[in-house]
Amino acid sequence: MPSIVLFFEVHQPYRLGRNIYAKLIEKSLKGRLDQNDLEEAIFDNELNRYVLNRVADRCYIPATKIIIENIERFKNTSKPFKVTFSISGVLLEQAVKWRRDVIEVFQRAVETGMVELTEQTYYHSMAAFMPYYGFEELREQILEHRRIIQELFNYTPLSIENTEFTYNNDLACFLENMGYKVVLTEGVEWVLGWRSPNYVYRARDCDIRVLTRNYRLSDDIGFRFSDRKWDQYPLTADKYASWLSATPGDIILIAVDYETFGEHHWPETGIYEFLRWLPIEVGKYWNLEFTTPMEVIEKYQPRDIYDVPPWTTISWADERDLSAWFGNELQIEAFKILADLRPYIRALENPGLLRIWKKLTISDHFYYMATKFGSIGEVHAYFSPYKNASIAYSLFIEAIGGLLQAVVEEVKENPRRILSRLEVPGERAFYFNLPSGEYVGVSARSIRELLLALEKAPLESILFHLNRGDIERWVSDVFYARELAEEIAEIRGEPGDINEKLDKLKKAIKLWITE
């Protein structure tokens, strides 16, 4: 009896505003910018609210009511109707602010006991793939999502998907270590080979279960439902149920964007009727039942290992890889700039700035920067609020620029705070070399580590860097501590041997990180 897992991805991003620099200048002329001013300038909340209201009226409210009606209709039968939702934290956050009825209708659905909630990142982000800080940031965003799910639904998920069904072996084992039992991802043909997506698999090197999406049957609803050129148009519930019944395997994971129902396919296409009649038609087949991810892994044992090395990470978008978000230089550069800013944001311990930074990790920002052609390019264009990738990139850089300026201003006000906490990634560390260029095996990623390095590095190397002004430049350019850099420059210019200068240098640094 194939178990049908009907999975809905529910997400709306915070879209960037236009003319960010102009807005910031206008606000700064009226006085000092605070975090609320910065957030208001960066994000187009008028558009975000408009889109949420439209999608709530077309999809979230009517589609969820249909699901609740079907749950109630079949609740006490031998084949109850069950669905799974994965709702991003930023969607829930917007709904709390602007459409509380969306929260309420999802709560009603969960209260039926026939809905499983799947975990994801709060910001629906590509955090896992961030240089240096990926899994650290991923953990934070998953825990933040867990908190809002517990707060709004009194529910703790045990199933999880990484954003956009992105998956690899390392990710799977990391998620298992966080306590999750099953991870959902794409059924990619080159990974499956001769095997079917319609079975439970196990991750390589750990025991977490893996469910793989049947993308053909999913895309029949998600993409082809209203396509009049499709040779199977129109897709009716009875026709689709017959396809499901004829599909071999233990499970059939049907995973689509929830906005499919009323937003991507408008109500007049018949998409509501399809959703309303699907459980009725499925119920006519003895070999079909609806279930959820956690129920599936309790019922079926894994058939094989789903092996996806980290260098071949998969997703459910485009070519089933990461190219939807990191497929061109614009996307890669934008993501790297964002990642480089993270240690500064965290060192400041400013919740407002950290929140803005995390909202810039939302995957949609990078999706809009894609430069693809053909049908894939059309999908990107459909979702993007901008005319092209260049506009999406330039707005993102404006947003980063505004955030960076706020960081610099706060650092200038209290440089000791960031000096005592900031640790930069390896590529921005200070490496001690000899005049010949030979690395001496000593480096520093923070000012505290610089103190330790001055104890370990050869005097010849310290003198070489001090005389060239390397240390003061690093302190100024990386930590924005220009006053400390000026003190180091004064020490460099004073008379005396290297030991005297080294003692003064250590004392100056200690004062800056202990006061």
Q: Look-up: residue for tokens 């906005």? A: 259
Name every residue whose Cβ is closer than 8 Å to that of residue 206 and which is 6 or more positions away in sequence.
172, 173, 176
**Catalytic residue from among 164, 259, 263, 472:** 164
The number of CA neighbours under 13 Å toward the Cβ of 135 is 11
Q: Look-up: residue for tokens 């190397």? A: 461
Q: Smallest Cα–Cα separation from 400: which of 451, 350, 347, 344?
A: 344
The span from the CA of 312 to the CA of 436, in Å, is 40
Phi, psi torsion values for 212, nearest 5 degrees: -115, 135
**Helix/strand/coil (H/E/C) assignment for every residue in 355-367:** HHHHHCCEHHHHH
The span from the CA of 398 to the CA of 19, in Å, is 8
413 among known catalytic residues:
no
β-sheet bridge partners, residue 10: 87
CA dihedral 390, 393, 398, 404 (to 10 degrees): -150
Q: What b/e sequence results for 226-265 when a residue is b if at least 16 CB atoms lie within 10 Å of its CB, and e otherwise?
A: beeeeeeeebebeebbeebeebebbbbbbbbbbbbbbbbb
Q: Which residues are catalytic?
A: 164
